[in-house]
Structure formats: structure tokens, C-alpha cells
Amino acid sequence: MIFYGLRALDVGLYVALMVSALVSGLPTLVGLVRRRPVNALSAYFTTMVLGSLLVALVAGSTEFLLAKEAVLTGVTGVWFLVSAAGDRPLAYVFSKPLLSGRARWPADWDGLWASAPRWRRMWRVSSVLFGIGSIADALARVLFAYTLPADVVPALATGLYTVTGVLLIIVVNVYYVLSGVYDPRSALYAAPHPMPSTGR
């Protein structure tokens, strides 16, 4: 890890944090900018990387710089929550390229989105779950930054990504199973019945 390598060379804490944030973010940004076409997924990651670089350049205390990832994680959480009410929730946008037509998932996601209300609701609910989890992660990062020794925080923050990610994946996938995603006969895939004619 760049931060701990710089600290081993006796580089100051604040400088080590700044340099590691910039060096780790730039290659990702270059790769995202070169990727074409720009879609919702790449736009999201580009925004997050740019945000990370901008936050790293904001002058402030060591604690603030340690907590900078909480800003982006919190923004991600809010973004998930807001997207749940939008045209395509972030959980849907992220999952479609990975799961559509694979691992017993259906292939026609857009058709289901248009015709199956429970399919739409599933993605809205899972986006809310991801949003709540991301905001909880952000609050934990702030707590780490302002209460723990500075040299311990980067390692804990990295570990927190794994813990939060695994927990969210487990919770959301249990929800998908309970929703009936692996059962082709599930009501998840049913279109609403038309209203019966009154004969008028």
C-alpha cells in the first residue's frame, strides 16, 4: 500500500495521505476517460474517482483527509437512495451487465422492467438496501478517522470495504432469492392482469 510505504520512508502523515490518494486515483481516472462509449456505469465511476481526487486536494486536518472516503461513500449511499425513485435504480444499472442471461438470471431485463411491477420493485428495494449500507459505512469511516490512531485508519478503512461489500452482497442476494428470481414461475416475472371489461 502506497501510504504505508511512504510512512516506512518517514514521510509525514499528511503528505503520505495526499500522495497515496492522488497516485491511486489517477490510473483509474485515465482508464475511465479512455473507455467508450460513456454509459451510466462508467459515468458513476468517473464521478467517484474525480470526487476522490478533489476531496484529497481540499485543505484540512489529518482527520478530515482520513475521513475523505466517507464523503464519497456517503454520496454513493445517497445516490443509491435517490436512484431508487428514478428511471433505472443503480442496483439495476450495476447488475445488468454482470447478470443478464447468466447464472439462471433472465436475459430480457428491459422487457421485464417494462412489464413486471415486482421486478421493478425488487431493484428499487435493493438500491435502498445498498444506499443504507453505504451510508452506514460512511459513518463508520468518520468514527474511525476521529477516534483511532491515524496510522491505523487506512488499513481499517480498506478492510471495511470488504466487510461492507460482503454483508451487502449477502443481504441483497438473500432478498433476490426470496423475491423468486431463480423461479421462472415466480410472481416476480408476472405482468399485471388487465382490468375486466364492464361491457359498457
State the amino acid at position 126 in one-letter form: S
Provide the pLDDT confidence category of residue 81 given band limits of 50, 70 and 90.
very high
Share of the chain above pLDDT 90, in %: 46
Q: State yes or no: pLDDT of 194 exceeds 60.
A: no
Does residue 59 surpass a pLDDT of 60? no
DSSP string of the chain, one letter each residue: -HHHHHHHTT--HHHHHHHHHHHHHHHHHHHHHH-SS--HHHHHHHHHHHHHHHHHHS---HHHHHTHHHHHHHHHHHHHHHHTTSSS-HHHHHHHHHHTTSTT--S-HHHHHHH-HHHHHHHHHHHHHHHHHHHHHHHHHHHHHHHS-TTTHHHHHHHHHHHHHHHHHHHHHHHHHHHTTT-TTSGGGPPPPPPPP---
Which residue, 121, 138, 93, is CA-closest to 180?
A: 121
Which residue type, as a one-letter code, is found at position 103? A
Question: Per residue in 150-169, pLDDT tens?
Answer: 888 888 888 898 999 999 99
Q: Tell me the pLDDT tens digit for each residue of 98-138.
A: 899 998 999 999 999 999 999 999 999 999 999 999 999 99
Model pLDDT, residue 40:
58
Model confidence band, residue 197 (pLDDT cutoffs 50, 70, 90): very low
What rounded mean pLDDT belongs to the chain? 80
Q: Which long-range contacts (CB under 8 A, 24 or more apart) does 37-46 make?
A: 40/88, 40/93, 41/93, 41/94, 41/97, 44/79, 44/90, 44/93
**pLDDT tens digits for range 44-54:** 666 666 666 66
Return the higher-pLDDT residue of 54 and 37: 54
pLDDT of residue 116: 94
Q: Indicate the residue type of 98.
A: L
